[in-house]
Structure 1
């Protein structure tokens, strides 16, 4: 209850402060967003519950009507996430991620720097299709097992966490903010990147970060010997081989779809491709999942998408976005590099 009271107080403070420079409706919306963000942060209520509150709060306070809010909880981009997570659950259920991890570890030397690179790259590649949080939690025991030295344990854990964050930007489904961006572009009829195009744009950035980050983490660790680390690679089971083949087929379909769009001007909807492969995971003799496995689906994240899209719609419909843009127009006078720095700092610390 204390967390809810804190959220109410923060919402009221933001409302009073916003009245200084904004209209009553805009101040109300700012206060509601502050209230929601506080509840998301302090977890006074479950994430999914807070994410459903805009359906009630926005109509009650005259921000958006009910239909304008609820439509944001069924955006087509959400089904891209559903398909991706069905595939992720299948990978976890079959244990295929453990094979990928062991295989990548075997490619690197048994030194502190080699293991840090291996953990970072493994975490990044797996996080490009699986949840960052899930991958970090799965690789943490491996990172802790590799050495008894406290310094190495910390560096290995950091490599895993940073690698997951870096890998999340490699694909559109790697992390929820990517999907929110795609939903925003779709909503405002702005140019969208196909799956393959996204990867081609992000691959150089991810590669550079994966070169620099592990090197920085391992700068002062040359004296540690890790020659005793086992590099045993588990044998692939029949189900793992079948899933491996389906993943390769999915990747080929997504990249082929990208080139069809570029060279022939037509392509299938990528949301349909990924959702189709996700549903394929339930087909007997082909897939690996039963309906009970969907209990692992992070439905609260789906509701969070809906809340985010609803807030974006409210900012646009009420004119608050244009009002804020006008008040922050001085940023556009900055050199492009510094404008990016300001935006990045704002996103990082907000």
Structure 2
């Protein structure tokens, strides 16, 4: 009897512990790190205290990621590292405003259903075979994730792929019935049917893995192709400008990152095809034709393009043109003609201009003839934005900027880079180690948070080694977006993992190979195409003259 009571109490306390471990961890972490505060005059230690708390909170999530991003506003002023005004300004910098505008434009594409039309059209174009169909799905996902939030892109593509897989399953079911009907003996027919069904189920599951994983991979890779595609790229833009007063143009980034992303997408397609899709169905041609017919039917149900869709598409194309031609560095851009200092006009300016116009231009002109005033609609409205906007990501991005600012002011970033400089490694080996480090940490932590912690250190380390900072910063930035192994790594991974209803091991196996391939391709790209575009073999004058913190 006593034993049962003891067991019952132990079970009760264990349940309480399991339910409250996040609260306990959240309270214990600041206390355990208190020794760093014994000397409040040592800004290095106090900066490390704040950084350690945020990193541990971001990894273990005792509180929401986005609330963790607000910690700098509370702690940096208290510890006299930076004023509240200085820290707060980091939450709506030009890079964050650019991201905000990009999200709104992405929402406008979703709101008018243009994204669905694009994805179906790609499937129609590429649906001649299962390998080509999977390539079409990946290209559509990659293109959309270049401009739309990765999470929204993944959530939008999964229902389309489910329809494709449903058609394939229906085709396989008909094949099973046909084969069993051709068999004369009942018992043998039943055995054959069971064997065929089991084999078909395995092939179908493998094909489902290939397609769904291809969505997650393409969404993660596609965001690296444009400067606005992911928050990680904007962290790079901010660090680059704050350290060296240099502005990475949209065009320069695209010329380097887009070919690199295309190569990585091709590698992902080949990997998933060889691992899962190669022997997934028996009649590829038959399935492909059915899928194309289904896609054409769904596309026809969308009807002709509306004025709303045309309006959003035109403004989207104008925005892309403005981004590419703002200050291309090769020839004068529109910013050169309207401003004496073209670098003072950032990419946030055209995207906010387009955003304002989206809220101004009507979705159609028929509404002005209607007696119902509720039909008065614009290309985009605030009710749609406030429900679809990823507000937390904006706070997370700003919190990362605030953390980076605080670590710079405390001297912690310079201290880290100085310690790393004592390890004498070949620049190529250093680049490999940094890329692997960035790609590994991001598997368990937020991409934006990882970039904000690592990139300032990487930048200062390059200066210590007398190397063009872009040679280290660009590949590390892109590798931080290469999170393919765990569901917690990125929202696209989490969404796909939930849909697959499989074990983490099934995601880790192709994810490890994909990480290795992606990082390798990025290292090759920066040492070939990157050298040509950014002149990486020469140490630039701006790197010496504008370094904010002198390293000893």
Query: Normalized against structure 1, the TM-score is what?
Result: 0.90
Counterpart in the other structure of 1:174 = 229
1:330: how far off? 3.8
> Is the Cα contact below 8 Å between 1:140 and 1:157 reproduced in 2?
yes
1:96: how far off? 0.6
Residues of 1 paired with 2:154 and 2:389: CA distance? 17
> Is the Cα contact below 8 Å between 1:48 and 1:303 reproduced in 2?
yes
Summarize the alignment of residues 115-126 of structure 1 with structure 2, pairs less than 5 Å apart. 115-126=133-144
> Is the Cα contact below 8 Å between 2:90 and 2:399 reproduced in 1?
yes
1:213: how far off? 1.1
Which residue, 200, 208, 221 being the options, matches 2:263? Answer: 208
Counterpart in the other structure of 2:513 = none
Residues of 1 paired with 2:23 and 2:417: CA distance? 31
Which residue, 212, 218, 223 being the options, matches 2:273? Answer: 218
Q: For structure 1, which segment, 189-198 or 79-88, has the greater mean C-alpha deviation from structure 2 after superposition?
A: 189-198
* Secondary structure of 1:262 counterpart: coil
Moved over 6 A (4+): none
Residues of 2 paired with 1:155 and 1:173: CA distance? 28
1:65 aligns with 2:83: yes
Counterpart in the other structure of 2:331 = 263
1:145 aligns with 2:163: yes
1:31 aligns with 2:108: no
Which residue, 28, 53, 65 being the options, matches 1:9? Answer: 28
Residues 223-258 of structure 1 show CA distances to partners (whole Å, capped at 9, x for unaligned) of 323322123134422211221122122222222224
> Is the Cα contact below 8 Å between 1:7 and 1:36 reproduced in 2?
no
Structure 2 alignment gaps of length 5 or more: 1-19, 170-203, 337-341, 364-377, 442-552
Summarize the alignment of residues 1-350 of structure 1 with structure 2, pairs less than 5 Å apart. 2-13=21-32, 24-147=42-165, 148=169, 149-220=204-275, 221-223=277-279, 224=281, 225=284, 226-227=287-288, 228-229=290-291, 230-232=294-296, 233=299, 234=302, 235-259=304-328, 261-264=329-332, 266=336, 267=342, 268-285=345-362, 287-295=378-386, 296-331=388-423, 333-350=424-441
Residues of 2 paired with 1:110 and 1:151: CA distance? 20
> Is the Cα contact below 8 Å between 1:127 and 1:167 reproduced in 2?
yes
Residues 278-318 of structure 1 show CA distances to partners (whole Å, capped at 9, x for unaligned) of 12111042651112223122222222122111111111111
- Relative to 1, partners in 2 of residues 1:127 and 1:107: Cα closer, same or farther, differing over 3 Å? same
> Is the Cα contact below 8 Å between 2:95 and 2:234 reproduced in 1?
yes
- Relative to 1, partners in 2 of residues 1:8 and 1:323: Cα closer, same or farther, differing over 3 Å? farther
Give aligned pairs, total: 346
1:77: how far off? 1.6
- Relative to 1, partners in 2 of residues 1:284 and 1:203: Cα closer, same or farther, differing over 3 Å? closer
Q: For structure 1, which segment, 98-107 or 48-57, has the greater mean C-alpha deviation from structure 2 after superposition?
A: 48-57
Residues 89-138 of structure 1 show CA distances to partners (whole Å, capped at 9, x for unaligned) of 11111111101101111221443322221121111110001111111121
Residues of 1 paired with 2:108 and 2:219: CA distance? 19
Structure 1 alignment gaps of length 5 or more: none
* Secondary structure of 2:244 counterpart: coil
> Is the Cα contact below 8 Å between 2:126 and 2:136 reproduced in 1?
yes
Residues 202-231 of structure 1 show CA distances to partners (whole Å, capped at 9, x for unaligned) of 121011112211011101533323322123
1:15: how far off? 5.8
> Is the Cα contact below 8 Å between 1:51 and 1:300 reproduced in 2?
no
RMSD: 2.4
Residues of 2 paired with 1:134 and 1:13: CA distance? 39
**Which has the larger Rg?**
2
Residues of 2 paired with 1:217 and 1:140: CA distance? 17
Residues of 1 paired with 2:361 and 2:324: CA distance? 27
- Relative to 1, partners in 2 of residues 1:130 and 1:191: Cα closer, same or farther, differing over 3 Å? same
1:24: how far off? 4.9
Residues of 2 paired with 1:313 and 1:71: CA distance? 10
1:55: how far off? 0.6
Q: Which has the higher contact order (CA 8 A, sep 6+)?
A: 1
- Relative to 1, partners in 2 of residues 1:269 and 1:24: Cα closer, same or farther, differing over 3 Å? closer
Residues of 2 paired with 1:161 and 1:28: CA distance? 39
